[in-house]
Structure 1
């Protein structure tokens, strides 16, 4: 499987990176500045399979990617990385996003006053041509797959719920229908599982969301 690839970026300039998934709540790299805002022409969807972080090759989890949608906006956070940190940060992210993601340059619109109106950012997107792409599915089945999946980085539920929580924190005025509906379905399934556990069924996960 090919890893993420980026355009050549000179280390004499800072780089802006756009996070719309786990980078909203789990950054793990140094940055100089972060700005909340959005990119146009994309929707956030749980259509990418995760075989290395939130699932396994035999039982993939579900993580987000961006799909083209002319009228939509996707909100997230842009991080400014200092020139001296660019090489190490990109090497870390290329490994973190190796399962089907590649970098693209897109226009970012900051949502804070007195900031430059737009700027170019790098974003990791998993397109439908990559081997781990799973595509759309019915919301109930999608939630069930997430509840049942776990991998080296933890359970898939944590990923989805922390993303929903993070989005409410940075953009409470935005209604991400796909994410909100999925969160609600996951909560329903977790509540049912907790009732099942009281009947003696084995607990599958001890994270703060599943336990």
Structure 2
């Protein structure tokens, strides 16, 4: 624990596919933000012609987001930040922030966290759950099917014991839409 010099907060795909070495991995809570499919994806889970949706943190009074904090040791800190910036800032719709986290072991830390820029054209905060489900059910990008991104995230949150009613609802709706057959967005 003593060699952790950088913390990173994962709330979506970083939970199940961080892509970097870490010295610690703990459940964590971020106050003032909620996990939401509020960002159009034109690279990873959709295209410019048919955007998908990916998770972002959107600010909300009284909200809290459960996720995973990754502790990074000093020798890897610079390369992890470089990797994360290449991965997360591809569309510039995320903003990199240092935000306070409460770790499951009682520690309070500051963590690199990627939050949505509400002024960015890819911000999709006005979509209701039904519209989100319709998009996620059909979209696909260079990292695969948008539905798989949702299903993986929901499954890993459930494994960690984190309840996320919106994601659970979306997963059920997307499965139902996909079971009804192909169709336009």
- Which TM-score applies when normalising by structure 2? 0.90
Q: How far apart are 1:138 and its partner, in Å?
A: 2.5
Which 5+ residue runs of structure 1 have no aligned equivalent?
Answer: 1-11, 202-211
Q: Contact 2:4–2:71 at 8 Å: present in 1 too? A: no
Counterpart of 2:145? 155
* Superposed CA RMSD: 1.7
Q: Structure 2: which 5+ residue stretches go unaligned?
A: none
C-alpha distance in structure 2 between counterparts of 1:92 and 1:117, whole Å: 26
Q: Separation in 2 of the partners of 1:158 and 1:41?
A: 27
Of 80, 89, 96, which residue of structure 1 is paired with 2:80?
Answer: 89
C-alpha displacement of 1:184: 1.4
The question of 1:109 aligning with 2:125 is answered: no
Q: 1:125 aligns with which of 112, 115, 128?
A: 115
Structure with the greater alpha carbon radius of gyration: 1
- Structure number with higher strand proportion: 2
Following the alignment from structure 1 to structure 2, what is the Cα–Cα distance between the partners of residues 81 and 131? Answer: 32
CA deviation after TM superposition for structure 1 residue 116, in Å: 4.0
Shift of the alpha carbon at 1:13?
A: 6.8
Which whole-Å CA distance do the structure 1 matches of 2:121 and 2:81 have between them? 22
More divergent stretch after superposition (135-144 vs 74-83): 135-144
1:138-163: CA deviation from partner (whole Å, max 9, x where unpaired): 22221111111111111101100100
Aligned residues: 179
CA distance in 2, matches of 1:188, 1:13: 43
Residues of 2 paired with 1:80 and 1:119: CA distance?
A: 10
- TM-score (structure 1 length as normaliser): 0.80
In 2: Cα distance, 1:83 partner to 1:191 partner: 47
Question: How far apart are the structure 1 equivalents of 2:128 and 2:99?
Answer: 29
Q: What is aligned with 2:42?
A: 51
In the alignment, what sits opposite 2:158?
A: 168
Offset, 1:131: 2.7
- Quick one: distance in 2 between partners of 1:163 and 1:136? 21
Match for residue 70 of structure 1 among 49, 61, 66: 61
